[in-house]
Structure 1
Amino acid sequence: MGIMISNSSNEPIYQQIAGQIKGMIIRGHLQEGDALPSIRGLARDLQISVITTKRAYEELEKEGFIQTMQGKGSFVAMQNKELLREKKLKIIEEKLLEVVKESKLLGLSHQEVQEMLQILFQEV
């Protein structure tokens, strides 16, 4: 599944797991109806407690990203397209905020940042 746990992070492990799965759903790497690894299987793969994995899945379910069916497992839930778009926009806004803050620290003007962004848009 490609989940990486950082022991040096201040973020709890269950939040790291939930955040990465949420990101996979938002970016479209996981689609509606896709099965997630079992709680035990993911815990074994990541070499962490089943309780930690269960807590991550509970968070994702509470936020509406996954649904769990007793005896069948956990699956990516149907996502409201507009809500999903808003979540993606929020991620972009957060990243752009980091760029703006760093640009100001370096003394770059709005125009310089805008030119960089325009070049990057043309290259990609």
Structure 2
Amino acid sequence: MRLPIVINEHSAEPLYHQIEVQLRALIVSGQLEEGTMLPSIRELAGMVKCSVITVKRVYRDLEAEGLLRTRQGTGTFVTHVGEGDRNRQRLSSVVEALELALQAAIRVQCTREELEELIRDALHQHYDRGDEST
């Protein structure tokens, strides 16, 4: 199975985190349904051009969150994600992204007003062109 995971080699964000965030989003959004078998650790490492240890960590972390289950000799599968868990996970990834954006704004000394304007502009750009579903 080919997963739509894109790595930014120029990002300061660690590879395992980039992969984990994208894989979590695929599961929580329902794009990867319960029971879907994921690529083996070696296979995914080859796809995204990273070490096996990196993918092993991603799978272990997502398994600890209850999003994946590994069966010895069978593979790694997406587990059932309840609606409450799905919403909590979905919103937590947005909160995390907003927190990173806020940290970036603070680093470049944006004022609160500038940040609010940037957010308003982004919302207007996105919703005014009719992309409410994306």
The TM-score range, normalised by the shorter chain, is 0.7 to 0.9
1:105 aligns with 2:107: no
Shift of 1:91: 3.9
Distance 1:63 1:78 in 2: 12
1:43 aligns with 2:52: no
Tell me the alpha carbon deviations over residues 62-111 of structure 1, each in whole angstroms, 9 at most, x when there is no partner: 11110100001101011122121122233455667869x88831775xxx
Residue in structure 2 matched with residue 24 of structure 1 by the alignment: 26
Long gaps (5+) in structure 1: none
Distance 2:68 2:116 in 1: 43
The 1:81/1:55 distance shift into structure 2, 3 A limit, reads same
Distance 1:20 1:29 in 2: 11
Identity percentage of aligned residues? 36
Larger radius of gyration: 1
Distance 2:81 2:16 in 1: 22
State the TM-score, normalizing by the size of structure 1: 0.75
Long gaps (5+) in structure 2: none
State the TM-score, normalizing by the size of structure 2: 0.70
RMSD in angstroms over aligned alpha carbons? 2.9
